[in-house]
Structure 1
Amino acid sequence: MTHAAPTIVVFDLGGVLIDWNPDYLFRKLITNETERKWFLANICSGEWNLQQDAGRPLSEATAILSAEHPDHAELIEAFYARWTEMLGGALAEGVAIFEALETAGVPLFALTNWSGETFPYAWNNYPFLQRFKDVLVSGDEKLIKPDARIYQRMLERIRKHYPDAQPQQLVFIDDVLRNVDAARALGWRAIHHTSPELTAAQLRAWGLPA
């Protein structure tokens, strides 16, 4: 990195800046913990939800899964009908890192696996999202992390602001290790976000205010 080159931070959102957990909703719908864990592991699973993050329409996903599991159709319908109840609010310590970087003038971007249909709710209800220079939403791009193409698309979007930006100038923060590994494989610096304290410490070690 040259002294004049911008140092750019790219944030994941869920698990870093926003608290999202299907359990928040399904605790109300399936009171038995064992049954609830089974349902979220085997019916409305994380891998199933990722298909919507990759751009599949929510209505199509709901209809297909309900047809496969008619006994669970009502619960499947609730997954997106009551999706906002899965949000636990902004993660204050993560947002504090964002704000420290913002105050110091560090360029900030976001790269998130998120349905294009549900993201507008987050955009309208978490005002700090509008302070990013750009937010790349997987559902709008029809690509999801850890696909290398979505990182390349993020870099292309960054270069609209910073034409000379290079992968090694980027710092990527994500709570999912495979997404971090994918960024590193492309030459990005990356932090596996396991705690705000450790993330802030790594940013400071790289000379960034956090």
Structure 2
Amino acid sequence: MKHMEIRHIVFDIGKVLVHYDPDIPFSRIIPDPAERHWFFGNVCTSAWNIEQDRGRTWEEAEALLIAEHPDHADNIRAFRRHWHEMVPHAYDDSVALLERLIDAGHDVTMLTNWAADTFAEARSRFAFLEKPRGITVSGEIGLIKPDRAIYDHHVASFGTEPSATLFIDDSEKNVEGAQRAGWQAVLFTDARALERDLIARGISF
């Protein structure tokens, strides 16, 4: 299949460049697997967490859940308190690929669903986040993937051409969102597969 020439490359961050796993601290906080599964399925859910990525403050988020689940107040507060443990390391092979693309002269930016305050912490921990031309952070602008508006915001912010943009994300919904916005996109599984995808699209590095 022939693809339009790629002039812009946009990386997601979580689970593409940086590991994320709430089970790391919570396997200690809630040792019983069934109880932990219930907690993430009914209290600190993905739907609850994504609203912090949209810009809701942690204080508001915690207050909302504690009002509904007062018996779980300590564990609710533990989510933000132990957030740093959930992102223990970057993926060295993915970061090396990112840096090779930048060093080869490609226009690289990032687009991430991430709460503003925790992303500021991530930037202080992972130096490679300063290397791309820029980053769109959902929590800073009040928009999240896969909503069309965040892709259009990124285009307007960085002057990219959608059809000449390749987006890399680990979420099928976010990949499909980018495609609906007129971008090219690939689903990330690992760095080796991504390298093959890039080469298949004529990207040299």
* TM-score (normalizing by structure 1): 0.93
Residue 187 (structure 1) aligned to one of 167, 182, 191: 182
Kept after mapping to 1: 8 A contact 2:4/2:164: no
RMSD between aligned residues: 1.4
Structure 2 letter corresponding to 1:150: I
Q: Which residue of 2 aligns with 1:168?
A: 163
Cα shift readout 1:68-113 (whole Å, capped 9, x = no counterpart): 0011110000101221111121111211210121121111100000
Task: Provide the residue aligned with 1:104 in structure 2.
Answer: 104
| C-alpha distance in 2 between matches for 1:142 and 1:93 | 31
Give the deviation of 1:189 after TM superposition.
0.7
Aligned length: 203
**Paired amino acid for 2:104:** A
Which of 192, 195, 201 is matched with 2:196 structurally?
Answer: 201
Kept in 2, the 8 Å contact 1:10–1:110? The answer is yes
Residue equivalent to 2:9: 9
Query: Which 4+ runs in 1 deviate beyond 2 A?
Result: none
Deviations 1:155-201 (A, max 9, x none): 01111xxxxx3211100000010000010112111011122222111
Structure 1 position 65, deviation (Å): 0.3
Deviation of 1:2 (Å): 8.0
1:18 aligns with 2:13: no
Q: Secondary structure at the match of 2:109?
A: strand
Partner Cα separation in structure 1 for residue 78 and residue 4 of structure 2: 51
Residue 66 of structure 2 is matched in structure 1 by: 66
CA distance in 2, matches of 1:147, 1:10: 16
Whole-angstrom distance in 2 between the partners of 1:74 and 1:166: 47
Quick check: 2:166–2:185 contact (8 Å CA) kept in 1? yes
Equivalent residue number for residue 173 of structure 2? 178
Q: One-letter code of the match for 1:188?
A: W
Q: Distance in 2 between matches of 1:14 and 1:91?
A: 10
Matched-pair identity in %: 39
Alpha-carbon separation, structure 2, partners of 1:88 and 1:129: 15
Question: Which consecutive residues of structure 1, in runs of 5 or more, have no partner in the other structure?
Answer: 160-164
Closer, same or farther: CA 25–209 of 1 in aligned 2, 3 Å: farther
Within 2, Cα distance between the matches of 1:2 and 1:150?
A: 22
